[in-house]
Chain A
Amino acid sequence: MSLLSVRDLSTEFQSGGRWLEAVSDVAFDLQRGEILGLVGESGCGKSTIAYSVMRLLARNARIRSGEVWLEDVNLATLDEEELQDLRGRQISMIFQDPTTALDSLFTVGHQVIETLQEHLNLDPAGARQRALELLRQLGIPAAEQRLKAYPYQFSGGMSQRIALAIAIACHPQVLIADEPTTALDVTIQAQILQLIRRLLVDEQGTGVLLITHDLGVVAQVCDRVAVMYAGKIVEFGDVHSIFSKPLHPYTQALLSSLPSKGIARGRLENIQGRVPGLADRPSGCRFHPRCPQAKAVCRERVPPLKQVSASQEVACVLYD
């Protein structure tokens, strides 16, 4: 059984009296001890998937259909109380802006210890002990003093470590990380990614859904990748296959727009235009107005995600 299994998820937002779909029939599985990357340009629906799984959607949003199985429990059908019980304990999330996870009025120690007491039924001394252990594991120097500090006294990187400490305090099986390092400097980003990869995934077997628009981050830490375009997964597969042999024209375009070694000072390939808004999703293959290989049929046919090799699935008429 997969650890997390998302089936035919569609999520919509109410806007100007209409319900508009932001995520359309998305399906994927997350295994224990793997990092699954979710990539795509801004507005493709990555965060909406994360919030749907966590059931932390905005007020004007709803899951129209679909199932979210955490082992044998369908999160989509739980009530708020049951969900609260699972969040933090079995499934946790960290965000791009780590300060959102921390309350500025309380010391960091208070917040970490409270979470631990609540979820692990520890007494205050035991929770404190565990908090210190966690902070040390996450490479936070002078952990004793740090517990007494307030969030504003922390750098972005330090806050993200604390947010990570709170998120993983109870050994959740699943961690959803939405752009966890986007706001950080490269050296700090590398430290946080290393923690997620080594400590959480390789040592503790956590399954991580890593949302990012940085293809370098994906290549460095993910095992498998889902590429999203305009609310749909258009390509899915093993990270080595996706980077060495991208099949979908959108994946190809994303990869070739990277300014990386070897093409110094040439023109960058690029995709014209941008991701359409929710009200202007094109017919057929949603990428067709920007696709350099589009054919007449692409306007009408919605290509389904199809397995094209042992390690890759793609949704494009070129592979029908």
Chain B
Amino acid sequence: MSSTTNGGRPLLSAVGLSKYFSLETGLLASLRGKAATVKAVESVTLDVYAGQTVAVVGESGSGKSTLGRLLLRLLEPSAGQVLYQGADIFGMNRARLRAFRRQAQIILQDPYASLNPRMRVGRIIREPLDIYGEGSKAERQKRVHELLERVGLNRNHERAFPSELSGGQRQRVGIAAALALSPRIIIADEPTSSLDVSVQAQTLNLLSDLQRDLGLTYVFITHDLSVVQHISDRVAVMYLGKIVEEAPTETLFAEPKHPYTQVLFSAIPLPDPSRRMNWDLPKGEPPSPLNPPSGCHFHPRCPQAMSACSHTVPRFQTVGRDHGVACLLYEEGVN
């Protein structure tokens, strides 16, 4: 699969997409004495081309899941657009939105929490077909059997409840349900994060096979960079709601430009005892998105911060072929 933008129009894009949550009620507001705003996603622009896998990586709270939900209009944005084949999904009427939702599905992280515990596996997989009134009852049943087989389960699993399955099997059920309506694009939010490495490997293989056989497009949300390298064509790195770097996977791994991306790479524990990390770690923790640092959000932790970084917001700009970064080190005339 090529990692270039191959000229054509993206299948799905985010344009200046933002989502602010206001926390007017509850403990936090009462502690602070006023309504607080979390900028969960801030001015995100991202293109996803058909047949590709774009990974979105970042630490917890960086806005990955919120972005994923915006891309499917499971949330309304505070600003910006999501274009599906050029049409803004937030401007779609009900009929067109319904058509869009058939083509865009989501798989969630926790196969324990995301499946209805009172429904049998067969019903869970059939439900999208029922909702969309696909085919006759017999045809739907046949489709359920096809899907079970497609994801490596068998007919015995059809009558099981989720609690009777292993984590990996539950994730397969989630994948089968997402595939039921033959979508073109799947947003996978940490689909392997709660699985053992062996089961994770089985699931990643299944997702690659499905992509090859069905021509699927993936937005793969994860905090695990080793998975990213394995599965994606392009990677977008998020920090506190913003994309700080975006590049083809190989480029990003070979030449990470943003100091945060570099820090993330240096903190991955490589499974190789002869290459131990130098423990040259960033200080502190990701700051609260309620009260993000001024200028570049990363400046309090950045090993390369300059004086300008605390008051100048870096612009996202191109630094190489298909490679973008938001950091003052790469802006003319700032440093």
Chain A residues near B (Cβ < 8 Å)? 41-42, 139, 141, 155-158, 185-191, 193-194, 198, 213-222, 239-240, 243-244, 253-255, 257-261, 263-265, 267-272, 274
Asked if B277 is an interface residue, CB under 8 A from chain A, the answer is: yes
Q: Which of A188, A217, A219, A268 contacts B272 (CB 8 A)?
A: A219
Q: Which of A42, A187, A261, A274 contacts B264 (CB 8 A)?
A: A187
Q: Least Cβ distance of A225 to chain B in Å?
A: 9
Asked if B249 is an interface residue, CB under 8 A from chain A, the answer is: yes
Contact B166 A260 (CB under 8 A): no
Contact A190 B279 (CB under 8 A): yes
Nearest-CB residue, chain B, relative to A271: B198
Contact A216 B268 (CB under 8 A): yes
Given A216-B226, A260-B271; 8 other pairs, CB 8 A cutoff: A41-B196, A187-B263, A187-B281, A187-B282, A216-B269, A239-B273, A265-B231, A274-B199
A198 to B276, CA, bound (A): 14
- List residues of chain A with CB within 8 A of the CB of B202: 270, 272
For chain B residues 215-250, which have a beta carbon within 8 Å of chain A? 223, 225-227, 229-231, 249-250
Asked if B95 is an interface residue, CB under 8 A from chain A, the answer is: no
- List residues of chain A with CB within 8 A of the CB of B269: 186, 189-190, 193, 214, 216-217, 219-221
Nearest-CB residue, chain B, relative to A253: B198
Q: Which of B204, B227, B273, B277 contacts A190 (CB 8 A)?
A: B277
Q: Which of A186, A253, A261, A263 has its CB near the most chain B CB atoms (within 10 A)?
A: A186
A272 to B227, CA, bound (A): 19
Asked if B267 is an interface residue, CB under 8 A from chain A, the answer is: yes
- Chain B window 201-214, contacts with chain A (Cβ cutoff 8 Å), 1 for yes, 0 for no: 11011001000000
Nearest-CB residue, chain A, relative to B197: A257
Number of interface residues of B (CB under 8 A): 44
Q: Least Cβ distance of B250 to chain A in Å?
A: 8
Nearest-CB residue, chain A, relative to B270: A216
Contact B264 A268 (CB under 8 A): no
Given A214-B269, A215-B271, A216-B270, A268 contacting B230 (CB threshold 8 A):
yes
Contact B226 A259 (CB under 8 A): yes
A189 to B264, CA, bound (A): 11
Contact B249 A158 (CB under 8 A): no
Nearest-CB residue, chain B, relative to A181: B269
Contact A259 B264 (CB under 8 A): no
Nearest-CB residue, chain B, relative to A266: B230
Contact B277 A220 (CB under 8 A): yes
Chain B residues near A (Cβ < 8 Å)? 59-60, 166-168, 196-202, 204-205, 208, 223, 225-227, 229-231, 249-250, 253, 263-264, 267-274, 276-277, 279, 281-286
Nearest-CB residue, chain B, relative to A42: B196
Contact B230 A254 (CB under 8 A): no
Contact B198 A186 (CB under 8 A): no
Contact B249 A264 (CB under 8 A): yes
- List residues of chain A with CB within 8 A of the CB of B201: 257-259, 268-270
A194 to B267, CA, bound (A): 11
Contact B249 A243 (CB under 8 A): no
Contact B229 A261 (CB under 8 A): yes
- List residues of chain B with CB within 8 A of the CB of A265: 208, 230-231
Q: Which of A190, A214, A259 contacts B281 (CB 8 A)?
A: A190
Given A42-B167, A185-B60, A267-B205, A190 contacting B267 (CB threshold 8 A):
yes
- List residues of chain A with CB within 8 A of the CB of B268: 186, 216
Q: Least Cβ distance of A268 to chain B in Å?
A: 4
Contact A186 B273 (CB under 8 A): no
Q: Least Cβ distance of A3 to chain B in Å?
A: 22
A274 to B253, CA, bound (A): 32
- List residues of chain A with CB within 8 A of the CB of B279: 190, 194, 198
Given A42-B196, A186-B59, A258 contacting B226 (CB threshold 8 A):
yes
19 contacts between A and B (CB under 8 A): A187-B264, A187-B285, A190-B277, A214-B269, A215-B197, A216-B270, A219-B269, A219-B276, A220-B270, A220-B273, A221-B269, A222-B273, A254-B197, A258-B226, A259-B230, A260-B226, A260-B229, A268-B201, A274-B199
